[in-house]
Amino acid sequence: MQRLNREQMARRVAQDIPEGAYVNLGIGLPTLVANFLPAEREIFLQSENGLLGMGPAPAPGAEDPDLINAGKQPVTLLPGGSFFHHADSFAMMRGGHIDICVLGAFQVSTRGDLANWHTGAPYAIPAVGGAMDLAIGAKRTFVMMELLTKTGESKLVDQCTYPITGMACVSRIYSDIAIFDIGPQGASVVEMAEGLTLDELRALTGVPLIAGAALQPG
């Protein structure tokens, strides 16, 4: 089985983002997607701290402490970009104006519940940021994650055991091993790593999986 590395996962997500899409890339792994958006497509990146039309990182020395993304990293603004306040920014999100939001996850359930904000550990100081707004606001929420934990447990689960971020909000999962669509029937497999069979994937995840259209014999 040929797993995708982080860059390959980001490249794969980028492929599916069409020209003209309004997209919010979450902190961490999803931020990598920006590096692989095809230069010939105009795609609008939103950052929930108040900018639309976010450009790449500035050249060293050209950082501006007043021009940062949601991860508090210095960024740039493209011509045609705009600034706005936090209520307007989250109105974009909550009001369904963002086409695609890409988020990391601890767990996703087969009905699309997302857990990515809190491990639930008793000593942890909880912090949510914009995660809950991002999870439920966009027209489509993509999750990017490695399918298995370091100890081999599936992060695609029947029922999240971590506290959830949003209910039934994930529409697609991009992982290192497979891509899943989440719908009313549960999780269906869109693509799999080369050399993997659907039964092997079922064994890895331990959840019911539907064979997606592309996997069906023609």
Partner 1 sequence: MIDKGVPTPAAAVAGIFHGASVMIGGFGTAGMPDQLIDALIDQGAGDLTIINNNAGNGETGLAALIAAGRVRKIICSFPRQSDSHHFDARYRAGDIELELVPQGNLAARIHAAGSGLGAIFTPTGFGTLLAEGKETREIDGKNYVLEYPIHADFALIKAEAADRWGNLVYRKTARNFGPIMAMAAKCTIAQVARIAPLGGIDPETIVTPGIFVQRIVHIASAAPSAAQAA
Residues in contact with partner 1 by CB under 8 A are 19-20, 22, 42, 44, 46-53, 63-68, 72, 77-98, 118, 124-133, 136-137, 163-167
- Measure the CA–CA gap between 80 and 59, rounded to whole angstroms: 20
The minimum distance between CB 203 and partner 1, in angstroms, equals 30
For residue 24, what are its two tokens?
């919010």
What's the distance, CA 212 to chain centroid? 20
Q: With respect to partner 1, which residue has the nearer C-beta, 99 or 176?
A: 99
For residue 193, what are its two tokens?
């790593």
Q: With respect to partner 1, which residue has the nearer C-beta, 167 or 198?
A: 167
Query: DSSP of 198-213, one letter per residue?
Result: HHHHHHHH-S--EEPG
Count the alpha carbons within 13 Å of 145 in the hemisphere toward its beta carbon.
24
HEC profile of 107-142: EEECCCCEECCCCCCCCCCCCCCCHHHHHHHCCEEE
Q: With respect to partner 1, which residue has the nearer C-beta, 4 or 37?
A: 37
The minimum distance between CB 20 and partner 1, in angstroms, equals 5
Q: With respect to partner 1, which residue has the nearer C-beta, 15 or 82?
A: 82
Q: Which of 43, 212, 207, 48 lies closest to 135 in space, CA to CA?
A: 48
Q: With respect to partner 1, which residue has the nearer C-beta, 137 or 212?
A: 137
- Measure the CA–CA gap between 162 and 117, rounded to whole angstroms: 9
Active site residues: 48
- How many residues belong to the chain? 218
- Measure the CA–CA gap between 74 and 67, rounded to whole angstroms: 6
The minimum distance between CB 141 and partner 1, in angstroms, equals 13
The minimum distance between CB 52 and partner 1, in angstroms, equals 5
Q: Which of 5, 4, 22, 26 lies closest to 116 in space, CA to CA?
A: 26
